[in-house]
Amino acid sequence: MTPSAFAGGVAVLTGAASGIGLALATGLARRGSHLALIDQSAEGLDQLAGVLRAEHPHLHITTHPFDLSQTGAIPDLADEVIKQHRRVTLLINNAGVALGGTFEEISLDEFEWVQSVNFRAVVAMCKAFLPALNSELRAHIVNVSSVYGLAAPEGQSAYAASKFAVRGFSEVLRHELAPRGIGVTVVHPGGVRTNIANSARVASGVRASAQEAEAQRRAMNRVLRLDPAEAARIILTGVERRSPRVLVGSDARVIDMLVRLRPGTYWNVLRRLLPRRRATP
């Protein structure tokens, strides 16, 4: 498949206002991509767009505050983006949310909220932007899964379910769209230094004390080591090469190998490497 070219293209990016998304927006702008930036934080989008417009005045950069859990409104979002940019060459579904708690502790509504943002929004974005991508010679889709789309740790039933779903959906999409020249990359980041641990919701059924919850957040943050800028560089290199799968970080590579070697028993090893969840009464 022909390598991707960023310069002069139009990239649609969700979760753009922070973390990996912010780093991807910065990297895409440096590579000459016009940008449609999507995030729930209007303030964060405005700050990012202001910086990028000052650094790259020749680029057309638009901001689109949007709650991706409202999947029914995504076609209207796509119409707005296409109206302002006329075309789309790259779609990056990066936005995601996290929820802590065992399956017994989370409610079905909480489980569904994670699926709506992490998986159903990805599907809806691909559906809404596919006609525009079909009009391009070297269009590309990037769906960000997780290392928890490779392995499923305890306390992450909603998150892992959504990220495994993104992985499966992306693989099917890749096979279906390859004859049209549209590439699909699924990304599995490991511990990237973002705010996801601090912003994660705690399930309504969790009875841990504030001190225990804070200790768990600190433990999770200790394993989030990779610089988001480096994560973005790895992802964009994968897009440029039209790689079908990108593992971000040495921990993602180790976990991928462990799951391959011990598909049914990897948790016996992995549970000793990940921060332990405190028991609740």
What is the rounded CA–CA span in Å between residue 73 and residue 120? 12
Catalytic site residue 266? no
Q: Of 66, 148, 159, 169, which one is the catalytic site residue?
A: 159
Q: Which residues are catalytic?
A: 159
